[in-house]
């Protein structure tokens, strides 16, 4: 099963940091790539590509000018899960989603989510029914979906890595990278 994230409605002036955080969270928590809609932003794409070059792992960043088309195209390949505060509680939906072997597209909003997303999704899933960040919803959902296995993920081709220790910061890498 591969997992991709669809970031709905990116607005560079307002969302550049949150979108890059969302993409980096997707990568770190086990997704294979991200598709984003809204306004194309080469800077956010480059930020994520640079992080991948340094910290490893294959991860794709794609732009789609039409969210509806992106979802419909994905549905020929797998299932769509919309992360929203209005869906079924994650604790009720996660087992069925996990048991489905299809590839997954996790749709997350920024600006007001178009109503059509709710009807096109195979599951509308609430990670709490309170307002919070799409980044936190994505992290919690991926953690639940992958049952914590993402925490042990090894990123192939990394030039940098953190050496775990109780105190301080220690980053190692290939000569000349740190």
Task: Give a yes or no: residue 137 inside a domain.
Answer: yes
Distance between CA 116 and CA 143 in Å, rounded? 27
Whether residue 107 lies inside any domain: the answer is yes
pLDDT digits (tens, 9 = 90+) for 123-152: 999 999 998 999 999 999 999 999 999 999
pLDDT band at 15 (very low <50, low <70, confident <90, very high): confident
Give the span between the Cα atoms of 29 and 140, in whole angstroms. 9
Please report whether residue 8 resides in a domain.
yes
Look at residue 11 and tell me whether its pLDDT is greater than 70: yes
Number of domains making up the chain? 1
Do the Cβ atoms of 166 and 140 come closer than 8 Å? no
Instruction: Quote the tokens at residue 55.
Output: 């910290």
151 is in an annotated binding site: no
Structural domain contains residue 37: yes
CATH number, residue 164: 3.40.1280.10
* Phi, psi (deg, nearest 5) at residue 133: -80, 145
pLDDT tens-digit map of 99-110: 999 999 999 997
Residue 8's domain comprises: 3-173
**Residue 162 is assigned to a structural domain of this protein:** yes
Does residue 178 sit within a domain? no
């Amino acid at each position: 099963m591969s997992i991709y994230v669809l970031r709905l409605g990116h607005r560079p002036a307002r969302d550049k940091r949150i979108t890059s955080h969302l993409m980096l969270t997707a990568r770190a928590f086990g997704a294979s790539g991200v598709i984003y809609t809204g306004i194309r932003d080469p800077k956010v794409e480059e930020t994520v590509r640079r992080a991948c070059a340094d910290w490893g792992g294959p991860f794709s960043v794609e732009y789609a000018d039409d969210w509806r088309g992106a979802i419909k195209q994905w549905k020929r390949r797998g299932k769509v899960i919309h992360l929203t505060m209005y869906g079924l509680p994650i604790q009720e939906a996660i087992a069925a989603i996990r048991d489905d072997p299809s590839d997954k597209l996790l749709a997350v909003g920024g600006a007001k989510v178009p109503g059509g997303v709710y009807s096109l999704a195979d599951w509308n899933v609430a990670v709490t029914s309170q307002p919070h960040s799409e980044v936190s919803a994505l992290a919690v959902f991926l953690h639940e979906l992958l049952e914590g296995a993402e925490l042990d993920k090894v990123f192939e081709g990394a030039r940098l890595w953190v050496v775990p220790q109780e105190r301080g910061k220690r980053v190692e890498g290939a000569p000349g990278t740190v």
